[in-house]
């Protein structure tokens, strides 16, 4: 991620107009920084399906998230559907979510890992890319 403080941006002079290489370098840094800031506001809702877990002692599931990068450190949380109000369903979803022990980030997808127990029902995750 490119971090630019506004105080660090070199002020352009009228003589710089002919120096596109100087302008373009700073502009590219600003665009890159803006892209990173925009990305940090992206939250993707994904479903961990009960039928998609693979393994017999360690359970894994791959979930595609097209824009995520291995270098990202996403914020991941349990997500309950907006219209969900049934207490027993919510409790069951939390129980399934509690089986999740680790999330590994790769380019284009995340891998959910459960070491202790395989979730017996599907649940949703909110993945904020940062």
Over 90: is that where the pLDDT of 67 sits?
no
Over 90: is that where the pLDDT of 52 sits?
yes
Look at residues 9, 93, 91 and name the one whose alpha carbon lies nearest to residue 50. Answer: 93
Over 60: is that where the pLDDT of 94 sits?
yes
The number of residues in the chain equals: 130
Sheet holding 123-128, edge to edge: 43-48, 123-128, 75-79
Q: How far is CA 90 from CA 9, 93, 94, in A?
A: 50, 5, 6
- The answer to whether the pTM exceeds 0.75 is no
> Which residues, in sequence order, are bridge partners of residue 54?
60
pLDDT of residue 47: 96
Over 60: is that where the pLDDT of 55 sits?
yes
Over 80: is that where the pLDDT of 62 sits?
yes
Look over the chain and give the mean of its residue pLDDT values, rounded to a whole number.
85
pLDDT of residue 113: 98
Cα(128)–Cα(130) distance, rounded to whole angstroms?
6
Mean pLDDT value across residues 81-88: 93
Cα(123)–Cα(47) distance, rounded to whole angstroms?
6
Calculate Rg over the CA atoms of the chain: 21
């Amino acid at each position: 991620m490119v971090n630019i403080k506004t105080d660090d941006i070199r002020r352009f002079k009228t003589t710089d107009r002919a120096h596109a290489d100087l302008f373009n370098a700073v502009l590219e840094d600003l665009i890159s920084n803006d892209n990173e800031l925009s990305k940090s506001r992206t939250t993707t809702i994904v479903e961990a399906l009960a039928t998609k877990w693979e393994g017999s002692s360690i359970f894994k599931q791959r979930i595609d998230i097209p824009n995520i990068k291995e270098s990202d450190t996403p914020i991941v949380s349990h997500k309950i559907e907006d219209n969900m109000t049934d207490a027993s369903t919510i409790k069951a979803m939390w129980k399934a979510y509690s089986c999740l022990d680790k999330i590994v980030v790769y380019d284009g997808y995340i891998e959910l890992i459960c070491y202790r127990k395989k979730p017996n029902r599907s649940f949703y995750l909110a993945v904020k890319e940062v």
